[in-house]
Each structure stands twice: as C-alpha cells, then as structure tokens.
Chains A and B, each alone.
Chain A
Amino acid sequence: MLPVNGLYGHIANNIAKSAVLMAGFVLLVAIYWWAGCLLFSALLSMRFGSTSRFGWSRAVTDAMPAHHNSYLPGPTFEGILDYATQTALVHWMIPAGLALVWFVYAFLFYRSIIRAATRSKPLERRAEPKLYNLVENLAISAGLPMPRIELIDSNAMNAYAAGLSPSSATIGVTRGLLLKLPADELEAVLAHEMTHIKNRDVSLMVVALIFANGITLIGNFAGSFFSRDDGGITIPEIAIPTGGGNSEDGEKAAGGVLIAVLAAILAFALMGIAHVFAQLNQFAISRAREYMADAGAVELTKNPDALIAALQRISQDDDVPLADDSMRAMMISRAFDGDSFLDSLFSTHPAIADRVDKLERFAGGRVRAAPVRTAIAARAPAPASITARTPQPAMGISGARATFGRRG
C-alpha cells in the first residue's frame, strides 16, 4: 500500500504479508471444503444419478435435507457443481467445527512437546558470563523477560529461539557460534532470536503448521477412500450405481457416471492444489518472519553491518545435525540444496544474499570489507547444559538442509 522507504516500511510490509498469508490459509480451508462437497456430490451422482426420480425409495428422499434445491445432484456437470456449492454453504459449520477441534487439539499437543523439550537446567551466568550479559542486555532493551539460554554441543554455527510466549522462551546457541563469532556479530544473532521471541513467531509458525498439517491430513484421509492396497485408484463401493433398468437407462447411467467421475477428478485436483499451496503458504510466512527478525535485530543493536557479517559467516557452516526437520522450523540460516526457484519457494529462510540485500537497502548496512578478527571464548568450556535434543517448534537463524519434497 505504502512504499517501502526504510526499516519501518519493511517491517510493516512483512506484517501485512503475514496477515494476507494467514487469511490465505482460511481461504484454502474453504476451497478444501468445497472440493470435499464436490466429491460428495459426484459420488451421489454416481450412485443415484442413473435412477429416475420416482424410483427412489422413501428412505432416500426422507434423508435428503429439505433446503437443498434438488434432492440429488442433477445429471449434468453444472448440476453437480451447483449441488456441491449448496451443500458447502448450508453445512459451513462442519468445517468450522472440525477446524476448531483440530486446532485446540494440535495446539495443546505442540505446547506439551515444547515444554517437554525445554525442561533441562538453564545456562547460568557463571558458566558463560559474556553470553549471559549479551542476552540480558538485549532482553532489557527489548523489554522482555530474560529467556532461558541453552548451549548446543556442536561446532557448526547456529542459533534458535523457541517458546510459545516471551515468558516461556528459550534461546539456543551452538558452541561453534560462541567460539567463532566476534562479540558484535554474536550480539546481532542473539538480537535476531530475541526479535523472534518478541514477535511471537514460534506461535505464528505453529498456527501455520497446524493449518498445513490439517489440510494434508484430510487430503490423505479422503484419498485413502479412493486408493487400492496396491497403490492404484478405485471408486469406493458406496458410489457404485444401483438400480438397473433397460438399455436406455443403462446408456444414460454410463454418461452420468462419466460426468460424475470428471467432477471427482476436479475435486481431487483442487484438493491437490490446495495442499501444495498450503505448504507454500507456510514457507512464505516463515520467510517473511525471517526478514522481520533481521529488521528487528537492527532495531535492537543499531548495527546492521554486524548482522550482515554474521549471516555471511554463519552461512558457510550452519548445518547442525538434528533429527527433526519439519518442526524445528527455523534456525537463523539455512543452506540451499539447489538454486532453483522451486527450492527457494519451499525454503523456510530467504537466501543469505537476499537478506543482506534487504539489510543494505532498508537498514543502511554495508558489507564489511575485511573480516573482523574473531574473538575466542578464552575460558575452557565450563560444564553447561549441553543437549543435542531436537528443538521442537523453534525459530532459528540457520535451518537444516530441507530439500524439496522432504517436508511434513
């Protein structure tokens, strides 16, 4: 709506983008629901469409809701579509209710996972005073309670933020990050994670994940009715037309079934498209939040150059071996397996070059000519709560190698 002239505009832009994408999820659910009704309508047409109206049993006519235009979908394609729209509009409470139930269940499920994953002993000030001080200063600047700090025993450079609210938040850093980054770059990375906590990005991504998973689940559920054990496609038994009659009826029946099958194919195509768009949506939201976290980090530290340098340094070695891809969401950076446009669409993080470009354009950052000497944590590593657990829904600064097709 308004042009992006700097950091504030960039952030406002991404907030708007997130809102539109979340609304997109609602639209996808609606499309899915309509596609489901279309399938239902097609099946009905397959089963009953061939019989003449007076041939139905009373049981069938009594079972049909009175507010439908017609008792059954008409034999034409338009008739099937019309019946589907009718059903979808009249019974809108079914998807709303199902979505609500699914949401509550899934959110509580994820919350319990996050709580279980972050129950270890928090890092104390004594163990890593410089790190603790950095996080504490950032928390004070941002007006947030002090988050738990977790140290990951890995030489790769990465960091993540987890927790569904600022009061129950955790920031994790790898030992490699601590050793290899100078203080101002480390501060930039921590500020990025702190911004994720402040923006409640983990909650947002869990919501997006619930939507995407729900759509996938229902799609698989519906698809299971139509697949044979050997992997082929079949028409479920309930859809097999009943009632015979003379050969003229038989011809009409065949035509009717063909139309119904076309409608069913349309329904599946829509579901498939909605399924893919749900995944794309989830990744698009994630990328927008990453841009926002970069911008927020600059606001906290006032030092965009450090963040640019940190991102470039981290991108060279960010692969932290953790088991759970899908829920780990984002760490601060993510290596691409391929440069294709498709890979970037399915990526949780924007490319490092894009992030640096945005920081240069909107935050006044500059790429440092010479790398800063790295500060080494001089002390011997003190015993700290080192865990290699999978950090469950977390927002990190470098994600894992998620390849196209490996998701969910």
Chain B
Amino acid sequence: MARTLAMFTDTSLCIGCRACQVACKQWNELGLEVPAWTGGYQNQNHFTDKTFRLVRFIEEPGGKPNGDLAWLLMSDVCKHCAQAGCLDACPTGAIYRTEFGTVNINQDVCNGCRYCVSSCPFGVVAFNESTGTAKKCTFCNDRIHNGLGPACAKACPTESIQFGFRDELVAKATKRVEALKGMGFKQAQLYGHDTGGFLGGLNAFFLLLSKPATYNLPDNPKLPQRNVVVDSLLSIGSALAVGLGVLLAFRDRGKGDGHHDA
C-alpha cells in the first residue's frame, strides 16, 4: 500500500464560498438537482447521490470567544474511514479500499442492495435511482491516480481543504489547533485525526471550532458490524431453544427407543 493520503478540512479557514461544492459537481459530472430550502445559504440538507461535498452553515448562539453568535462553516465530505462500515457491508465487493487508503465504490459492480446506505455512521452513502447504484465521494480517484489532488481541495481559495500525506497533515493540524486555542477558540478540536480513535481514524479529518454535535457529527461513531458475533450467538441460542421446543413436541413418545418406524 502506498503512503496513506488524506484530506484535512480546517473549518476555521472556511469562508463558505462553496467553490469546493461546485468543483466537485463539475469534475464528477454530478448533474443538477432540485435545491433544498434550508433556511440559510446551505444547499442540500445532507449528502445526496449528486452532492458529495457539502458546505454546512451552522449558527451557534454564544459560540464566539466573546460570547457572540458564532457562524460556523464547514465543508463536509465522506470521511474515508479506516474502518469503513459501508465497505464491510458491501456483499458484492463493489466498495473497496484503494492503495492510498481511500474508500471507493466500483460503479460497474454495485448492484444497488443499499446495505452500505444503512451502514454509514455519517449518512454519507446515497442511492441513485437512475443508475441503480450507491454513490459517494470518490476522493477524486481519477485525479489522485494522475498526480492531482481532489477537485475540492484544488478549488479551495483559503486552504481550508488541504490534501496530502496523512501523517504530514495530522502534524500540521495538531499545530493549527494549538494556535487557535491560543487565540481564544477554547473548543477548537480535531475530529478523526487519531488512528487509535474511533473507526481507526478518518482519512478525511476535520478541525472543528465547537463540539462535534454542533456540526451534527456523532461524538463517538462506531463500526456497525461490531456486534455481528454477539448477535449471531444470540440467534444460535434462540435456534437451540426453538429447535428443542419443536423437538419435544414431535418426539415419538410411543416408541421406547425413539427410532422412527418404517
């Protein structure tokens, strides 16, 4: 495996221009969709089969260091989890991990069972009715294999979205969060940078200015498949109980040896 690539989205630098969202749409030819009225500048409430990058506009009362209303901006994207629920759920092998550590859906293999849609802890993967397949951010798979960064990172005018080797970006992000704290942003924190943390770390990780819940991100997302063994054992227990019940009902009590008569 090549060195792991990552995207680091520093929300403190985002100005909400949505160049990333547009660049993503254009490069990936995602097409038109009916705009969503969200009560603000945000267009689309959440990721769709045609929106892989989404700038979120969030108002947080008292969120600023001086107690004023904070207007938080965040360019959100598929997290390319190191332990990816969608990938584990996929029964066709259409969802795969690239040599760069990103997670991609092979559109020629996906048959649209939609288990990945229900298995993403962030609600990223979306079903496309016209192709009948699951869609999500590809980390611009075609671009990174040709020496270009993802379209969103390329388009970002403030370097809020940075692309590079994961270890280098984490080092940079750690310094940045300390600097922000020194400036009075007490809640500044990294989300998903730690490979020892939830989901083995996110290959698209974030610097947030408030707690994750403010951004509608789960505090501690978990791999959906973590209970397969327990749930299966409980089912086996149920099978034994039911099997025994049926067996006791049908057991041939007329014959002493319990064997079938011909």
Co-complex (A, B): no
Measured CB to CB, the residues of B under 8 A from A are none
Measured CB to CB, the residues of A under 8 A from B are none
